[in-house]
Amino acid sequence: MHPTWTWADVEALQRLVEQHDGIALKLNWDTLHARKEESAAELVEFREGQLIAFLGLYPFGNTLEVCGMVHPDYRRQGLFTALLRRGLHSDTVVSYSTILLNAPGNSETARQFLAGYPCRFDFSEYQMNYDLEAVSANLPPVAAPVTLCQAKEADRPLLARLDQEGFGLTAEETRQFYETLTEHEISQNVLIIHEGEAVGKIRVSRRDQEAWIYGFVVSASRRGQGIGSSALRQVVDREKAGAYDIWLEVALNNPQAMKLYQQVGFQVRRSQDYYAYMR
C-alpha cells in the first residue's frame, strides 16, 4: 500500500526532474487537477516514503497521451517500464485507436528510453512564447473586428463541431472528449464572434502565472479574413493585462499558423516530441 500523497508531491517531483534534466515536462495539470489522486494510485512509485515516479494518462477522444517521469536517483531500475506496463494494460490499449508517448524534445533520457521501447517517432510540436519585442513590424491592422465570449455548458456541441472542422476529428472523438470536461474546463474556452455568429474558439489555461493557448480554430468558411489574427491579438492583450507569461503550441506541419503566431509576437522556445505506441 502506498503512503498518502497529493498532486503537490507530483509537482515537487516534476520541479526536481525538470531542474536536473533541463527540460519542461507536459503533465497537463488542468486534467490532473480535475481528478482525484486515487485515480492514479497504480501509476506512482515510492521509495522510503518518497514519491519517485509518476505516469500520467490523458484521453483526448480516441487518442491517449502518456507522459511521466522518474527521480534521477532511481533511474535504470525498470520503474518506468513497470509503470507503462500497468498503465497500458490490454483493456486500456484496445480502448484507443492511437496511443502517443510524449517527451520533451531536448530530453536525452527520454530519447534513450524510447529507442528501446515498442514505439516509433510520430511528430513534434513547437512550444512558442509571446515576446512583445518580437511583434512583426509588418503586422497588418485588424481587418475583421471580433468579440470574445466565454463558453458555457450549453456550448459543448458547438465546441465539438469546431474541433471536428479544425482538427479533422470525428464526431465520436469530440463527443467523448467534451463529455469528460468539467464545467471549469469548458469555461476556459472563448468563442470568437464575428457578425453575430460564433465562427471559432480558443482555449486558455492559466497556471502559475502562465497562460497556455490551446484548441485555436476558425471555421473553414471564415478563414483568410483576418478573424484569427484579431481574436489572437485580443487574447494576448487580455493575458498581458493579467501579467501572464503567454504560451501556445503549434504542429511543425502547420506553416500558416506558425506565420500568424510569429507576426503577433510568438517565438519558438522548445519542442515536444510524440511517439506512437506499437501494439
**Cell of residue 11, nine digits:** 509537482
The three cell numbers locating residue 225: 479574413
d(CA 57, CA 274): 14
In a domain, residue 176? The reply is yes
Mean pLDDT for the stretch of residues 55-63: 91
Q: Are residues 93 and 143 in the same domain?
A: no
Model confidence pLDDT, tens digit, residues 241-261: 999 999 999 987 788 899 999
Q: What is the pLDDT averaged over residues 103-127? A: 97
Cα four-point dihedral sign 224, 227, 230, 232: negative
Q: Find the radius of gyration of the CA atoms of the chain.
A: 20
- Domain residue limits at 64: 7-117
Cβ distance 45 to 99 under 8 Å? no
Give 1's pLDDT tier (boundaries 50, 70, 90). low
Q: What order do you get walking across the sheet with 63-70 strand by strand?
A: 44-47, 50-60, 63-70, 98-104, 266-277, 119-130, 245-251, 210-218, 197-207, 189-194, 147-150
Query: Is residue 2 a part of any domain in this protein?
Result: no
Domain boundary among 117, 144, 174: 117
Domain containing 28 — which CATH number? Answer: 3.40.630.30
What would the pLDDT profile of 162-196 be if each residue is shown by its tens digit? 999 998 889 988 998 898 888 999 999 999 999 99
- pTM, two decimals, is 0.90
Our count of domains for the chain comes to 2
Measured distance CA(55)–CA(38) in Å, rounded:
13
